[in-house]
Every structure is written in C-alpha cells, then in structure tokens.
Structure 1
Amino acid sequence: MFRFNLLGRIMGIIIIASFFGGCSLTYTIKEPVVSSIDYGKKDIMPITLNIIDMRTGDDSTFLVARLGPSGDISKFPINLKNMENPIGYFTQSLEKELASRKIPVKCVVGKTAADELTLEIFRYQIINRRATGFSPWEAMHIFSGNIVKEGKKTPIKTFFYGGKTPVWSMDELEEPCFNIPISIIIKDVASKINRVVFNYAAPDEKIDRLNIEISSEIGKTVEGPFWQVLELGYTNNPKAIEPLKRYSQQGEEFFRSCALSSIGTVGGEDQLEFLKQRYYGSMGSFNDRYMAVKAIGDIGNNEALEFLREIRKDSAYIKESGLKSCVDLYAP
C-alpha cells in the first residue's frame, strides 16, 4: 500500500510539473450519440431554427482555464479536436438530437432573427478549474440563451459539472470532463427547446422501459446507467419524477447527480422542497449539491431564485467554483 501511495504521489508530481510547465492538453471530441427518446409525433411540419451567436466579452471565450491556488484565468492551452468551431458543432449536434426525437428542425447559424424560430446564444462555455496537481480537474459546462418564438423570448439555461482527479495521465479527463458533459448539454438544450416550443412528451411506456433498463444495469459499473436516468428527464413526462427522486438517493455520486439534474429538465416545479433537502443533505458530495442547484435553477420561480441568492451568503459559494458557476448562471 505504501508503494502504491508513493507511486501515485510521484505520478501526481509528474503530472502537475508538465501541467504548469507550458505543455498543452488535447482531447478528441466525439459526435454525441443521440438519445433514444421518440415523442411519437408524426406529420410535423419542418421548421428552421436560426441560431445567433450573441456572446460578448468574457462569455465569448469557449474554453476558460482557471489553474493554480488563486483560480486566476490562465493562458494554459486546451485543444478540442473536432470542436474548433463550438457554435458550428453545437448547431449540427442539436439538429441531429432533435431529429432523433422526430422533431424536424433545420438548425442554421445566422446573424439576424428568423420569422419562424430563433435561438440566441449568450454563453456557451467550459470553465476548467484545478488548484493543485493533487486536486480534481473540474469542468463547469454552461449554456445560456433565449428561444424566440413569435416575438416572445424564453430563457434557455443549463449547467453540468464533471470532475476527476487524474492518476496516470491527463488523458483520463477526456470523457468525464469533456465528451460526456458536452453531449449532456446539447441533449438538455434540445429538451428545453421541446418544452418551450412543442411541449411533446414521450409515452408512459417509455418511462417503464427506461426503468426496467436502469434496474437491470444499476450496480454493474461505477457510474451506473446514467444515460438512461438522463433520458427520463428528456421524456418531458411527469411520470418520470418519482423514479428520478428514488434514483437521486441511491447508487454512486455521478448516477445520483444525473437523476437530480433530470428532475429539473423534466420540469419538476413541485419538487423544490425535495431538491432543497438534497442540497443540504449532500454536503459531502459536490456533484449532488451542484446538480440539485441546477435543478432548482431549472424550476426558476421566485422561490427557487430566492433560494439560490441565499446560497451566495454561504462560504461554500466563495470556495467552490462549481457551486458559484451554477448559482451565477441561474440567479445572476
């Protein structure tokens, strides 16, 4: 055990030495696998979604690195292959995700609002944070925009937190800190566009099938069947709420946090007290607390926003980048 711990510390020193020594990190971003959600609608008239990049100032930087104990913005280079154009990647992936749900939306990048439907993007960003070579690499994925339909603007926001302490190589960050959260953000935005514009819901039978899949897979891997839990949130069916509450209190941390996130995605407006309890009852779990806050932000009513503003008075708001990023997104 002593040899293993010593070896781990040596590897950590090597990693941080290269990390702060001017090297860059390069990760390959995959094309997101579309969800299995099908709202069962037919004969839907095709529509065009005009996507306008309205990011300005600091929010226009897609990849932000806050490295070292101070958390100041660093010029440390992080390269994402296949995502050199983040808005283009987002646009193509969003269209494929909506099409997989049988919603025929043509997504195009434009400069002015369209008559049919417009998505204004104010922030699409990954904030990377690491204090030391022995602390986790944290990736805060943030999206903020407006969906504009017939002149009415509705905010679309979402957040996801991924973190990992690399042991052998910085390559270990590729999936938990980049590929998985990038895919989740796109699916969550698609779900919220559906709620605002179409309000289609998957049938109860889909909820039942997902629950069977989750029950058969839970416990087989560390992360658990988190994709299926997230899909419960994409159904836009209130029948998903009760199983999601159950899953948010069992299994490993990442699995639970995905269930909490999904409560917000599916529209659990009457679950505010439950989510507050999960926030206070998960003080040892960053993922659980942050995604409970995300779900509260998704609810977005006056009581929910007041709760988020109260979190600003907590010392954890200052100390924890993930908590601060989520609170600031939903309750600026």
Structure 2
Amino acid sequence: MNKSLSLTLTAILTALFLQSCAPSAYKVNSPTPSKYAYTKTSDTAKLELSFHDGRGEKDKVFSEGTLKAGLLLDKKPIEPISYIKENTAKELQARGLNTTVVEKAPVDITINKLFIRNYRSNGFSPFITFTMLSADVITPSGKQRVGVYIKRGKVPVWSFDEVIEPTFNEPLSLVVKELSAKINGITSKQSISDDQVTKLAAEINANPAAADSYLKVYQLGFGFNKTAVKHLVTMSKSADEYVRLAAISSLGNLKADGELSYLKELYNSSTGSWQDRGMALKAICDIGTAEAMTFAKQAKADLDKPSKRDKDDITWTKEILALYL
C-alpha cells in the first residue's frame, strides 16, 4: 500500500472513530462574568429583574442537531432558563450594576427562544453550533425585542472533548453577556470608559489571530460605548472569520445607525459568506430603527421567493430573522 493511500485510510478511520465516539452528553460550565466594569455616568438605582419562560412547547428542546447529545451542568441536565437568569444577574453585577432577580419586577425578561443546534456535514468537517436567544425586555416604557445568534465551529482531532469550550461554553457565555448588555442598554445605559475601548482595540489589533481576540471584539460591543464603532468597522473586514463576525454583530449591539448603509451593503453582497450576511442582518435588526426593520422585513419576504442561494444559507438566515420578526 503506498504512503498516500495509507494516510488517506488512516484519516478516514480516525474521522469515523471520532464520529462513533461522540458522547451522549456534554459537560458545560457556568460562564465567568466580564472583568470590564461600566464607568458609571450617574448614580444608578437598584435594577430589579424578573425572568419568565415564554417558549412554546415545541421550542423547549434546548439542544439538538446532527449529533444527539444533552448538556450537563454540575452533573445534572442543564435548566436553560435558570442558567440564563442566574448568570445574567451575575454578569450585570460584575459590570457594577446593583442587580437582583425577583418574582415580579418592573423589568421583565420573557424568553421566547433559547436553543443550540449542532451541525456536522461529515467526519472531516467542523462540528458547528448555532446558539440563539430571542427575548422581550418589558419595562414601564414598553416592550423591546432582543436577539442573540452565535455561530462557532471546531474540528475535533483526538476527542470530542475538544469541541466543548469553543462550541458550547463560549457561545453560552456570549449569550449571557449579550443579553446582559442589551438589558443595560435599555435600562441603565451605562458604558465602559473610552480608555477601556482603546485598550481592548489595541489588544485585538496586536494579535487578531489569538484564540480570545474574537471574545474581546464582542466586549467592545457589550461595552455600550460608541467610540468603539470606528474600531468595529475596521475589524468587520478582518481576515479572521470570528473576529469579523463578532465585529459585524457588535455594530448592532451598539446600535450604530450611522453604519446602516454599510450593513445593508454587507447583506446584499454576492461575494461574502452567508455568515457575514447573516450577522449584518442581525446587526440591522439590533439597530431597530424604522428604516432598519423595513429592510429586515423585505429581506424576509425575498427569502421566500425562488432563489439560487444555498438551501442552508436561506434556512439559517431565516432562523436569524425569526429571532426578531
């Protein structure tokens, strides 16, 4: 047997072995709260929150996909609403907001969707997760819809344990942090300092390929300081996929309405990846102005028309829109 064929067979057998040895459950961790506290621009009153499960029965499956596997937290099946409630409070407290969770509060968070879908096309491709949340933040001023959508992938080399951190723990942590940031943006409106923005941007630019760089990009968006917008626009053109996606998404988190035309161009581009287009559409929905939502609704209508776009591209883009519309 020649060496090339031997290597090919070894790779195939390894991939099949990994596929067959995928665990029946994944052990996940609670997220570590952010270390970037808000610099208070005013005294903030106590922030009381309540959380309610608004999911329909068909939406109460938390994790499913190509690989059937449950999620365990502290050796028990994870309870997703409790996970979000407890860790969102911890995140806001770490940011410096005096946050408590009560049964009925002036600020109510109704979770409409909380779901992880995993996908793997074959034994050589990345194991991918799409982690998403849709919620209504209800205050005395009214109701605002918020969404989170995180795509992550990893090719397991030796063990499926390798995928847990990048495809489960990190996305779940980002869901908590993004929801917390959006609650702050609706209620307390506190932000990180200009110096913190500058420091984060410098750290990212010094090594954009670092494993944690994309997480720092998200922190620029979660910081609620619009001096980060110019950095995010630059990072949205990064060669690193996850830095780029985090930057595009974060323009929406900062409600950078001045970049709406740019985001429309990204979505309408025929050269970018579906992920770029999807995150641009998510950012447009997060900006949420009348112009932005008109564009999003038209995009939804267009997706229902006959198209040459990839089937998965259309399905996943509709999935993002469904978080908001």
% of aligned pairs identical?
27
Q: Does structure 1 conserve the Cα–Cα contact (< 8 Å) formed by 2:296 and 2:321?
A: no
Task: Deviation per CA, 1:148-185: give whole Å up to 9, x if none.
Answer: 11162111221111122323222221012101110111
Alignment-derived partner of residue 278 in structure 2: 290
AA in 2 matched with 1:308: A
Cα distance in 2 for partners of 1:291, 1:61 equals 24
SS at match of 1:32: coil
Q: Give the SS at the match of 2:45.
A: coil
Structure 1: segments with no counterpart, 5+ residues:
68-75
CA contact (8 A) 1:161 1:291 kept: no
Q: Which moved more, 1:245-254 or 1:57-66?
A: 57-66
Deviation at 1:244, TM superposition (A): 0.3
- CA distance in 2 between counterparts of 1:151 and 1:236 reads 20
Aligned residue number for residue 312 of structure 2: 319
3-state SS in 2 of match to 1:168: coil
Q: 1:293 to 1:209 in 2, by over 3 A?
A: same
Which of 47, 50, 71 is the aligned partner of 1:79? 71
Tell me the TM-score normalised to structure 1 length. Answer: 0.85
Q: Distance in 2 between matches of 1:198 and 1:30?
A: 25
Query: Taking structure 1 as reference, are residues 133 and 25 closer, same or farther at Cα in structure 2, changes over 3 Å only?
Result: farther
Deviation of 1:142 (Å): 1.2
Q: Counterparts of 1:211 and 1:8 in 2: how far apart (Å)?
A: 40
Which piece of structure 1 moves more, 24-33 or 237-246? 24-33
Q: Tell me how far 1:197 sits from its aligned partner.
A: 1.3
- 1:117 matched to 2:120? The reply is no
The CA deviation at 1:115 is 4.6
Q: Work out the CA distance in 2 between the residues paired with 1:90 and 1:97.
A: 10
Residue of structure 1 in register with 2:245 after alignment: 257
Cα pair 1:37 1:234 within 8 Å, conserved? no
Matched, 1:16 2:19: yes
For 1:25, the equivalent position in structure 2 comes to 25
Cα distance change of structure 1 residues 205 and 77 upon mapping to structure 2, 3 Å threshold: closer
1:273 aligns with 2:273: no
Deviation per residue, 1:111-138 (Å, 9 max, x gap): xxx3522111111111222333333322
How many residues matched? 314
Q: Quote the Cα distance in structure 1 between the aligned partners of 2:252 and 2:267.
A: 13
Worse-matched range after superposition: 125-134 or 250-259? 125-134
Cα distance in 2, alignment partners of residues 78 and 55 from structure 1: 19
Relative to structure 2, which stretch is displaced further, 99-108 or 297-306? 297-306
Q: What is the Cα deviation at residue 322 of structure 1? A: 3.5
- Structure 2: tracts of 5 or more residues without a match: none
Residues 173-192 of structure 1 mapped to structure 2, 5 A cutoff: 173-192=163-182
Q: Which runs of 4+ in 1 moved over 6 A?
A: none
**Distance (Å, rounded) in 1 between the aligned partners of 2:244 and 2:127:** 20
Q: 1:282 to 1:169 in 2, by over 3 A?
A: farther
Q: CA deviation at 1:259?
A: 1.0
Q: Structure 2: which amino acid aligns with 1:212?
A: A
**What RMSD, in angstroms, separates the aligned Cα atoms of the two structures?**
2.5
- The one-letter code sitting in structure 2 at the alignment partner of 1:34 is S
Alignment of 1:67-106 (within 5 A): 76-82=68-74, 84-106=78-100
d(CA) in 1 for partners of 2:95, 2:249: 20
1:34-45 to 2 correspondences below 5 Å: 34-41=34-41, 43-45=43-45
Mapped to 1, the partners of 2:18 and 2:205 lie a distance apart of 39
Compared with structure 1, are the counterparts of its residues 284 and 156 closer, same or farther at alpha carbon in structure 2 (3 Å cutoff)?
closer
Q: Give 1:292 shift.
A: 2.3
Q: Distance in 2 between matches of 1:208 and 1:24?
A: 44
- What does 1:139-218 correspond to in 2, within 5 Å? 139-150=129-140, 152-218=142-208
